[in-house]
Amino acid sequence: MRFSPRDNAFFDLFAADARNVRDGVRLLSQALASDADRAALAVALKEVEHQGDEHTHDIIRRVNSTFVTPFDREDIYRLASALDDVLDDVDAALDLMVLYRVGDLPAGVGDMVDVLDRAAELTAEAMPRLRTASELTDYWIEVNRLENQADQVYRRLLARIFSGEYDALTVHKLKDVVDTLEDAVDGFETVANIVEQIAIKES
Amino acid sequence: MRFSPRDNAFFDLFAADARNVRDGVRLLSQALASDADRAALAVALKEVEHQGDEHTHDIIRRVNSTFVTPFDREDIYRLASALDDVLDDVDAALDLMVLYRVGDLPAGVGDMVDVLDRAAELTAEAMPRLRTASELTDYWIEVNRLENQADQVYRRLLARIFSGEYDALTVHKLKDVVDTLEDAVDGFETVANIVEQIAIKES
Amino acid sequence: MRFSPRDNAFFDLFAADARNVRDGVRLLSQALASDADRAALAVALKEVEHQGDEHTHDIIRRVNSTFVTPFDREDIYRLASALDDVLDDVDAALDLMVLYRVGDLPAGVGDMVDVLDRAAELTAEAMPRLRTASELTDYWIEVNRLENQADQVYRRLLARIFSGEYDALTVHKLKDVVDTLEDAVDGFETVANIVEQIAIKES
């Protein structure tokens, strides 16, 4: 056990923040069902995103008012920002689906959201382990593996979107949604990389 | 007062650099008028951008030749690079408008450039306050708020561009211009985040 | 000579990693020839990319198991990640060419790949000089100059792709390939910037 009890607040905040991101991804996931009320889910996701902003501000306020932090102030800041970025992208993806009225989405979109779902779950599970800065390697490797897998899905999905099956404007809209999902996947990899760097410093 | 007089050169350089970025954004803003000579403004903006490169090199040369810097060498470097990136995007946006001969732009483009104008003004005003590493919170919060606002404008603008009003190639050109403006807005947020991190370390 | 003999392993690993990136770029370059077997070259490039992953893991494992590192652990990590990112983009560009069956490419694509080739060569030559943290300024300036040059080529290439010469789906495919090449060029600049920051700290 490397950290003192007074550090618990930071770890609790990051754990809560990552669970909140996971909740956001679950809403996005529900929005893919053919009978989903996407507009209602987008409103709920916006609420989750505001909750995330609160977590981020709580973390930054605490960094500002705490003399000794459990790990580098800068890394606390970067980790909070990176979690915030992921949730922004998840929120943007659903917002765009609603705004563009994209209707049914190609199957690969579901595969990408499944990757997001798995990455969000792994991230929420990993955050409490930041406390001991251990047993994080598997998480980091798995998120990197998922990101590689999502890359393959993403490229094949683009090839399908550009295959001639969709009209010109739908191509633009689908590409924009899919690019935003890809950004979210990359965002989870960024979170995992920051966690790995923190673990390296603490090791 | 945290910093010694000999540090003034760094603060003066950052203040001048941020004023230069603001000058660049003003040229972009003028280019939106329907009777603007965009080609001439693009030449003037290229000149501002070269001036910005000079500021960046001055800052880096000074980092290299100074034993004690007012804040972390790395942060000086990152801040100079981030200001440089914003100006690159501003320059690229006008360059693309000229190159693509896009003509009149949808109204939302003006709203995004207004956000850039406001962010550039706030950034130029904030830089001199780096010296005391204080009163920067309002700046940081406001730029983050502007970035959220620009996100909404950006998405609604894309929905309009993809609405069927424009021909296929114009859609590509407008999207490219608008994406570059969005990158510039994000760039101002990056600058604000680096300033916030410097202030956190100094606090 | 700043670094002790036991640090040699890190420098050797980075040198090998950068040579591997250069090998990847050469395969991409060969793929532009009109009679190239792109599918076969893509398989060979995937192999180079796996080799790169091995180098990255070797570097990170060594960071984890070494008490004193020749420069900041974080910078070692960032440099390894940045080289990995470049190779990912190079691999993605060829993968997309094959997947989209893009056929002959506009001349500007060759110019962008030539920039990649030159940047890869410069990077491979610069890595061994990390050992003395000197004579790196010319490398850094030249890669930044190449990136600016590639920006110009990139924008003119987009203007051609959007000129009406290509059908709507080909426009999307070409833009995607060209964007990925642009990301790779930016990636070399990121590598150069990290190297410069390391040199600044060591100076």
Q: Is the pLDDT of residue A10 over 50?
A: yes
Residues of C in contact with B64 (CB under 8 A): 200, 203
Q: What ipTM was assigned to the predicted interfaces of this complex? A: 0.86
Q: What is the mean pLDDT of residues A154-159?
A: 96
Q: What is the DSSP string of C44-84?
A: HHHHHHHHHHHHHHHHHHHHHH-SS-SS-HHHHHHHHHHHH
Residues of B in contact with C155 (CB under 8 A): 92, 95-96, 99
- One-letter identity of residue B83: L
Give the pLDDT of residue C125.
96
Choose between A161 and C135: higher pLDDT.
Answer: A161
Looking at the complex, report in whole angstroms how far the Cα of residue C146 sits from the nearest Cα belonging to chain A. Answer: 27
Does the distance separating the beta carbons of C163 and B172 come in below 8 Å?
A: no
The residue count for chain A: 203
Give the pLDDT of residue B7.
67
In angstroms, the Cα distances linking C87 to B87, C53, C90, C162 are: 28, 9, 5, 28
SS3 A136: coil
Whole-number percent of chain C with pLDDT over 70: 96
Q: For chain C, give every domain's residue range.
A: 5-202
Does the distance separating the beta carbons of B173 and C171 come in below 8 Å?
A: no
Q: Is the pLDDT of residue C1 over 50?
A: no
- Residue A168: which of B156, B168, B197 has the nearest Cβ? B168
Choose between A203 and B72: higher pLDDT.
Answer: B72
* Strand ranges inside chain C, DSSP E: none
In chain A, the residue whose alpha carbon lies closest to the alpha carbon of B159 is A100
Residues of A in contact with B145 (CB under 8 A): none
Does the distance separating the beta carbons of A155 and C92 come in below 8 Å?
A: yes
Rounded mean pLDDT of chain C?
92
In chain B, the residue whose alpha carbon lies closest to the alpha carbon of C157 is B99
Taking only the tens place, the pLDDT of each residue in C76-103 is 989 999 999 999 999 999 999 999 999 9
Looking at the complex, report in whole angstroms how far the Cα of residue A30 sits from the nearest Cα belonging to chain B. Answer: 22
- Residue B172: which of C151, C171, C203 has the nearest Cβ? C171
Mutate to test the interface with A, among B136, B158, B166, B191 (most CBs of A within 10 A): B158
Q: Residue B187: which of B139, B113, B130, B116 has the closest Cα?
A: B116
Residue A1: pLDDT band with limits 50, 70, 90: very low
Choose between A15 and B137: higher pLDDT.
Answer: A15
Q: Which residues of chain B have pLDDT under 70?
A: 1-7, 203
Q: Is the pLDDT of residue C70 over 90?
A: no
Looking at the complex, report in whole angstroms how far the Cα of residue C146 sits from the nearest Cα belonging to chain B. Answer: 15
Give the pLDDT of residue A68.
79
Does the distance separating the beta carbons of C164 and B99 come in below 8 Å?
A: no
Chains near C, with 3+ CB pairs < 8 A? A, B
Give the pLDDT of residue B2.
52
Taking only the tens place, the pLDDT of each residue in C160-185 is 999 999 999 999 999 999 999 999 99
Residue C6: pLDDT band with limits 50, 70, 90: low
Looking at the complex, report in whole angstroms how far the Cα of residue A74 sits from the nearest Cα belonging to chain B. Answer: 7
Rounded mean pLDDT of chain A?
92
CATH topology assigned to domain C5-202: Methane Monooxygenase Hydroxylase; Chain G, domain 1 (1.20.58)
In chain B, the residue whose alpha carbon lies closest to the alpha carbon of A74 is B197
Give the pLDDT of residue C174.
98
* Cβ contact B170:B40 at 8 Å: no
Q: Is the pLDDT of residue C151 over 80?
A: yes
Task: Give phi and psi for C44, each to the nearest 5.
Answer: -65, -40
In chain B, the residue whose alpha carbon lies closest to the alpha carbon of C151 is B92
Q: Is the pLDDT of residue A152 over 80?
A: yes
In chain C, the residue whose alpha carbon lies closest to the alpha carbon of B53 is C144
Taking only the tens place, the pLDDT of each residue in A180-194 is 999 999 999 999 999
Q: Residue B119: which of B46, B55, B49, B187 has the closest Cα?
A: B187
Give the pLDDT of residue C159.
96
CB-side exposure of C174: number of CA atoms within 13 Å? 26
Give the pLDDT of residue B119.
98
* Cβ contact C174:C166 at 8 Å: yes
Does the distance separating the beta carbons of C201 and B96 come in below 8 Å?
A: no
SS3 C56: helix
A-side interface with B, Cβ within 8 Å? Answer: 60, 63-64, 73-74, 77, 81, 88, 92, 95-96, 99-100, 168-169, 172-173, 176
Q: Residue B82: which of B196, B200, B202 has the closest Cα?
A: B196
Taking only the tens place, the pLDDT of each residue in C127-138 is 999 888 778 889
> Which tokens in the block code for residue B168?
């296929």
Q: Is the pLDDT of residue A99 over 90?
A: yes
Distance, in Å, from the CA atom of B186 to the CA atom of A161, rounded to the nearest integer, reads 28
Q: Residue A180: which of B155, C68, B125 has the closest Cα?
A: B155
